[in-house]
């Protein structure tokens, strides 16, 4: 199996965009119905990111065919589900030097060795970042408990991770509200 990871700033081929979207959406489909936490880009956001050079796209090719994609950006204003004010207050030096990146997702095609190829893709993405940079990401602890271990095993650099916050989603019911 020939594996190649290419960094792309712009993916303008509409058929490739659609193929990558379908793979990305399939990766997150089960998680998105298992948690109220938003776990991925909506289709319009994903397709815009494919053509936006503020997003680094890491295309995983297996036998010269798309097998995965990773998205990362250091323009945090383009990550729709995070609070930019928090990052500006907590990490002003990193942001002012464009050294804080946000990992928006990794997707590997169903049928491939997801854990091994996802780890390889993540490692390639992190190795492309500046030595004095940092990467942030979010995940649903309930739906993806293994994400921190996966990240720590995949990352080649001497890293120190910490949880920035957590969010609890609650529902209160009354009457006949079982549905």
- Residue 43 CA to its chain's centroid (Å): 14
Kindly state the percentage of the chain with pLDDT values over 90.
50
Where are the extended beta strands (E) located within the chain? 3-8, 55-62, 65-73, 100-108, 134-136
Give the mean pLDDT of the chain: 86
Q: Where are the domains of the chain?
A: 3-154
pTM for this predicted structure? 0.85
Tell me how far CA of residue 71 lies from CA of 41, 43, 170, 177, 179, in angstroms: 10, 14, 30, 39, 36
How many CB atoms within 10 Å of residue 51?
14
User: Residue 141's pLDDT is what?
Assistant: 67
Q: Is a pLDDT exceeding 80 seen at residue 150?
A: no
3-8 and 55-62 as β-strands: parallel, antiparallel, unpaired? antiparallel
**Cα separation of 145 and 23, whole Å?**
22
Q: Is 87 helix (H, G, I), strand (E, B) or coil?
A: helix
- Per-residue pLDDT, averaged over 103-124, amounts to 86
Contact residues for 71 (Cβ-Cβ < 8 A; gap 6+): 41, 49, 55, 56, 57, 58, 103, 104, 105, 106
How many CB atoms within 10 Å of residue 106?
25
pLDDT digits (tens, 9 = 90+) for 32-76: 888 887 878 999 999 999 999 999 999 999 999 999 999 999 999
Place domain 3-154 in its CATH homologous superfamily: Gcn5-related N-acetyltransferase (GNAT) (3.40.630.30)
Q: Is 170 helix (H, G, I), strand (E, B) or coil?
A: coil
């Amino acid at each position: 199996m020939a594996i190649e990871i290419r960094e792309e700033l712009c993916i303008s081929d509409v058929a490739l965009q659609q193929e990558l979207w379908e793979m990305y959406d399939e990766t997150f489909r089960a998680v998105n119905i298992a948690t109220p936490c938003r776990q991925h880009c909506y289709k319009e956001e994903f397709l815009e990111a494919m053509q936006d050079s503020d997003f680094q796209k890491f295309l995983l090719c297996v036998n010269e065919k798309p097998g995965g994609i990773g998205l990362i950006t250091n323009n945090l204003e383009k990550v729709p589900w995070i609070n930019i004010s928090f990052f500006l207050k907590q990490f002003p030096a990193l942001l002012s030097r464009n050294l804080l990146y946000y990992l928006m997702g990794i997707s590997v095609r169903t049928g491939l060795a997801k854990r091994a190829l996802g780890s390889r893709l993540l490692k390639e993405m992190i190795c492309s970042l500046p030595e004095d940079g940092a990467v942030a990401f979010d995940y649903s602890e309930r739906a993806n408990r293994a994400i921190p271990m996966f990240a720590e095993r995949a990352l080649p650099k001497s890293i120190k991770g910490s949880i920035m916050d957590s969010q609890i989603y609650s529902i209160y019911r009354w009457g006949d509200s079982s549905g």
